[in-house]
Amino acid sequence: MLVSIGKREKRLKNEKLLTVNDLTVEFRIGRRRKIEAVAGASLDIGVGETLGLVGESGCGKSTIARSIVGLQKVKKGRIIYSGQDLLQCTKQRMKKIRPQVQMIFQDAVASLNPGRKIGKSIEEPLRVIGWADRQERGHRTHEIMKAVGLDPEQMASRYPHEFSGGQCQRVSLARALILRPRLLICDEPVSSLDVSIQAQILNLLENMKRRFELTMLFISHDLSVVKNISDRVAVMYLGKICEIASSEELYRSPRHPYTALLLASVPEPDTAPKKQKKGTFHGEIPSPAEPPPGCRFHTRCPNAKDICIEVEPELKRFAGGRQAACHFPL
């Protein structure tokens, strides 16, 4: 039987596993222009917590995720994992930490080698970190395939093209979990799947979270997906975090006008009684190459005043621990 991570020390829920502090990531566009895809973002995730990260396409969600797993060069900031700054660690230290922080992506099919059998793909991370014993690798592969709902006898020797999108996402989850990570980053893991399959994968993620005592960062542009799976939610706009609150509070009473408009723009299910729309966005998202001064949201904010154009609001903490970066919080 697959042994869960029960032996790990039980930690207090309010202990932070990950703290991202003032993270700034720049991309060079052509020879002269630069964009700040992430502009001083800060967030933290408690041990055993699921933090949702939402925002419109291009706001910097994936760039934060890629920075945490070391796939992205960072200009400035700190990424503290279990008390250690990942941006300052020695190579030796990073070799130990990397297996503990794993990521799954939106396009699971593309993330698999089409010429490699599924069983071998799942086993590969163990080989990479130096597990020499073939039998042990095989055993763990077998067990993790069962855990994610893939029949090892039937499926280990098949190729990715024989699998559906949902099954490929199960395979990438198995590849991530085989290393027994503590932190799992899910970057839009269900966005390309049919709605019925989305529910299955979300349930699987919840089960795996309990079974392996995972801490999760769950990224999606879809607020309804994030709502159910997250304990807390961070909202991002144009490279900045504009609000962080418990999932329940954020959806019940958003404090940042951007969050409120995002929530109002979620389409009602066909069966829901028709309500009057609470508000809609006006204007386009500005280019991250030329972000507006002051509050980056002021060009689209229905409540903007002069100060919003001039002074950038800080991410302030309110009673109950929720945070919002707005001069006139709702």
Ligand X SMILES: Nc1ncnc2c1ncn2[C@@H]1O[C@H](COP(=O)(O)OP(=O)(O)OP(=O)(O)O)[C@@H](O)[C@H]1O
Nearer to ligand X, 141 or 172 (CB): 172
Please report how close the Cβ of residue 248 comes to ligand X at its closest, in angstroms: 24
Nearer to ligand X, 141 or 169 (CB): 169
Classify the C-alpha dihedral 58-62-67-68 as positive or negative.
positive
Please report how close the Cβ of residue 55 comes to ligand X at its closest, in angstroms: 6
Cα 263–chain centre separation? 19
Radius of gyration of the chain (CA): 21
Nearer to ligand X, 145 or 250 (CB): 250
Nearer to ligand X, 122 or 184 (CB): 184
Nearer to ligand X, 58 or 329 (CB): 58
Contact in structure between 222 and 198 (CB atoms under 8 Å): no
Structure tokens at 134: 């073939």
Please report how close the Cβ of residue 136 comes to ligand X at its closest, in angstroms: 37
Helices 165-177 & 195-212, crossing angle to 10 degrees?
10
Please report how close the Cβ of residue 62 comes to ligand X at its closest, in angstroms: 3
Give the single-character DSSP code of 40.
E
Strands 215-219, 183-187: parallel, antiparallel or unpaired by DSSP? parallel
Nearer to ligand X, 47 or 236 (CB): 236
Contact in structure between 180 and 99 (CB atoms under 8 Å): yes
Nearer to ligand X, 82 or 191 (CB): 191
Alpha helical stretches, state H, the chain: 61-68, 91-97, 118-128, 134-147, 152-155, 165-177, 195-212, 223-229, 247-252, 257-264, 306-310
Please report how close the Cβ of residue 225 comes to ligand X at its closest, in angstroms: 13
Please report how close the Cβ of residue 61 comes to ligand X at its closest, in angstroms: 4
CA-to-CA distance for 302 and 279, rounded, in angstroms?
A: 9
CA-to-CA distance for 271 and 1, rounded, in angstroms?
A: 44
Interacting residue ranges for ligand X, rule: CB under 6 A:
27, 35, 37, 55, 57-63, 221, 288
Please report how close the Cβ of residue 70 comes to ligand X at its closest, in angstroms: 15
